Amino acid sequence: MSVQEMLAAHPTAAAGDDQVLIRCIEECLACTQTCTSCADSSIAEDDIAPMVLSIRLCLDCANVCDTTLRVATRLTGRQSAPLASVLEACVDACRRCGDECAKHAQHHEHHRLCEAECRRCEEACRALIASL
C-alpha cells in the first residue's frame, strides 16, 4: 500500500494529490530506516570511537523523522501548528546528522548513504513547510 493510496482513502482527504506532503512522509520513512541502519552499521565497525557523535545524531534523527511522518500522516495535522514545529525539528535533525555523516562518508559507505538521505529528507520537510 502506498502513502498516496492510504491518504486518498482517508474520509477527510482533499480532492487531488498532495505530492509535497506525500514526498515528505516517504522521505521521513526512508530517513528513519537509513539513520537507524547507519547507527547500527557504525556500532559494527572496528573503531567506533570516532563515530560516537554520528551514532547519537543518527538515532536522534531517526526518532525525529519517525515522529514527523506520523504527525504529517494525520491529515488533521496539516492544518495545525504542531506540524510546522515538528517539521522544523526534522529539518534541524537531518541537517545535523547529514553534516556529521559527511565527515565519515569517505571511509564508510553507510555514512555516505545516510548523508544523502538526510539531505533529501531535509529538503522534503522544507518544501512542506513552505506549502503550509
Q: What is the pLDDT of residues 96-116, one digit of tens each?
A: 999 999 999 999 999 999 999
User: What predicted TM-score, i.e. pTM, was given to this entire model?
Assistant: 0.93
Distances from the Cα of 132 to the Cαs of 19, 36, 47, 72, in angstroms?
A: 13, 29, 44, 11
Q: Cα 74 from chain centroid?
A: 16
List pLDDT tens digits, range 57-70.
999 999 999 999 99
| Number of C-beta neighbours around residue 76 at 10 A | 10
**What are the residue boundaries of the structural domains of the chain, listed by start?**
18-131
List the CATH code of the domain at 18-131. 1.20.1270.360
